[in-house]
Structure 1
Amino acid sequence: MAQKEGGVAKKGHEEGMEMAIALLQEFGLPLGLLPLEDVIEVGFVRDTGYMWIVQKKKVEHNFKMIKKLVSYDTQITGFVDKNQIKKLKGIKAKELMLWPPVNEIIVDDPTTRKIHFKSLAGVTKTFPLMHLLLGSKN
């Protein structure tokens, strides 16, 4: 794939998770953002900010503090930049009976400590960042 050209990839769960966590830290994103399981590969192209994650199966995670069920597909892609991920694919958040895809994640500057999830449908949900960090497994 042309988007992966010039990228660095880590294979396997341990190395993939290390890379994913390092990217979240580097770009000011909360570490609890990607509750992944059985990671096959994580990659990143520094020149463009393109990142990809491949995991064995789809994962659903319940962020209890914000009462939000989120689905992580087997392939997740997006463009990472300071405090945000744009053109995100592979993540959906349950809203009533629907699963709209999350297209963009933005973390406000540290003073407000808010995180925003935007969908292509124009829906934006905002939560205190601390609630996302404290989210735990089902």
Structure 2
Amino acid sequence: MASSKARNNERAGAEIVYGAEACHRHSVNLLEELGFPEGVLPLKDLEECGRVRATGFVWMKQKGPYEHFFTGTNTRVSYATEVTAYIEKLKMKKMTGVKSKQMLIWVPITEMSIEDPASQKIYFKTPMGIGRSFPISAFQKE
């Protein structure tokens, strides 16, 4: 776990919103701005969302961990109480708090990107650099 001093530096100059409604709006707008489908981060009971525009650091805190089953990809994904990432257009990298169940093990997802918007595919990568792509349509709001 990062020290609180490092964590505070990472969050210096952040725009922060609180409350379920404001956070939901913030997260939907953020995904739209980055070019991701709204359903790709189906977080529940958001309490705090923050963004540091200078560095691209973002975080979303929810009341507790949440598991979601994506029928379009036949994949179970676990979201920790806090999900963080560094963002840029069509990419979220250095992600924390997201794991996908592959076979019988939970695998951290550290990056998601849309390399070629025309392909209509979204690519998810693990810390080992291994990844899988799925149709963007699998992550439209359910």
TM-score, L = length of structure 1: 0.94
Task: State the identity as a percent.
Answer: 36
Q: Which residue of 2 aligns with 1:53?
A: 60
Q: Distance in 1 between matches of 2:19 and 2:111?
A: 26
Residue of structure 1 aligned with 2:118, choices 101, 111, 116: 111
Residue identity in the other structure for 1:81: E
Give how far 1:131 is off: 1.6
Q: Which residue of 1 aligns with 2:4?
A: none
Q: Distance in 1 between matches of 2:96 and 2:52?
A: 16
Residue of structure 1 aligned with 2:131, choices 119, 124, 127: 124
Do residues 43 (structure 1) and 47 (structure 2) align?
Answer: no
Q: Distance in 2 between matches of 1:38 and 1:129?
A: 24
Give how far 1:108 is off: 2.7
Structure 1, residues 47-89: CA drift from partner, whole Å, max 9, x if none? Answer: 1100001111101000001100000100111101000000000
Q: Which runs of 5 or more residues in structure 2 are unaligned?
A: 1-7
Do residues 81 (structure 1) and 88 (structure 2) align?
Answer: yes
Moved over 2 A (4+): none
Q: Which residue of 1 aligns with 2:79?
A: 72
Aligned length: 135
Residue of structure 1 aligned with 2:103, choices 82, 86, 96: 96
Cα RMSD, aligned residues only: 1.0
TM-score, L = length of structure 2: 0.91
